[in-house]
Amino acid sequence: MAQTAKPDGYALSQMHMGPYRIAHMQKLAWDPVRDFTYIIGLSGYTFGVVVKSDSPFKSFRDLLDYAKANPGKMSYGSTGTGTSPHLLMEEVSIKTGVQFLHVPFKGNADSTQALLGDHIMAQSDSSSWGRFVDAGQFRLLVTFGRTRTKHWPTVPTANDLGLDMVYSSPYGIVGPRGMEPRVVKILLDGFKKALDDPENLKVLDQLDQEPWYQSSEDYAKYARETLQRERR
């Protein structure tokens, strides 16, 4: 684990949103801010809510209206309790006053199968649903970025619908606490070059991910602020 390795730059880890939340949900032997050296922020995800193409919900407003009229009956699947797909729907619930039925799964493959099999009514997830939307099997109702996606520009964002919320679950690269600034700079420059490489940008585009470059200082500041925000 990067947190316990020698701070020589050879042991690195991807840092995602989970540690900032788990720190408030259970006792940890490490601190997600204090015990790591933040190197670079890289990218984030496109999140959205989908239903089957034959669903009566033609818009996210239709889904919310149903949920409001039928408290606790509007079922949706996510990749697990405490994940971004779950918490963004909890925030929707708080902002709109509707009550959903959350069905947590071990991963998006399971929740996708559940939606295809009509075991749930909707799926909240990152863009693993994209190929099903493009194939006409799923209908994308809303996305949660700051702007509409390039691939599905007609689909409104949560902000377009007046919900005032953005989710992208940014991630980056960290190392053990105590790394030398010289080593951090070498790694930052190398990862920045890789991030900007046209081949990498092409892959990010295929995955519906936007580059999210953060310098070492900015990424560490983001980590501190995110830990506090997730507590709230």
pTM here? Answer: 0.87
Query: E-assigned strands of 6-131?
Result: 13-15, 36-43, 47-52, 74-78, 100-104, 122-126
Using CA atoms, how far apart are residues 169 and 39, in angstroms rounded to an integer? Answer: 17
* All CATH 3.40.190.150 domain ranges in the chain, comma separated: 2-44+170-231
Strand ranges of the sheet holding 13-15, from the earlier edge strand across to the other edge: 13-15, 171-176, 36-43, 211-214
Domain 47-143 has CATH 3.30.750.24: no
Query: E-assigned strands of the chain?
Result: 13-15, 36-43, 47-52, 74-78, 100-104, 122-126, 138-143, 171-176, 211-214
What distance, in Å, lies between the first and last C-alpha atoms of the chain?
28
Burial 165-201 (b: 16+ CB within 10 A, else e): eebbbbbbbbbbbebeeebbeebbeebeeebeeeeee
Local confidence pLDDT in tens for the 232 residues of the chain: 677 788 899 999 999 998 998 888 888 889 999 999 999 999 999 999 999 999 999 999 999 999 999 999 999 999 999 899 999 999 999 999 999 999 999 999 999 999 999 999 999 999 999 999 999 999 999 999 999 999 999 999 999 999 999 999 999 999 999 999 999 999 999 999 999 999 999 999 998 899 999 999 999 999 999 999 888 8
* All CATH 3.40.190.10 domain ranges in the chain, comma separated: 47-143
Q: Which amino acid is at 210?
A: E
DSSP state of 68: H
Sign of CA dihedral 158, 164, 88, 30: positive
Q: Which option is the CATH number for 2-44+170-231: 3.40.190.150, 1.10.357.10, 3.30.43.10, 3.40.50.300?
A: 3.40.190.150
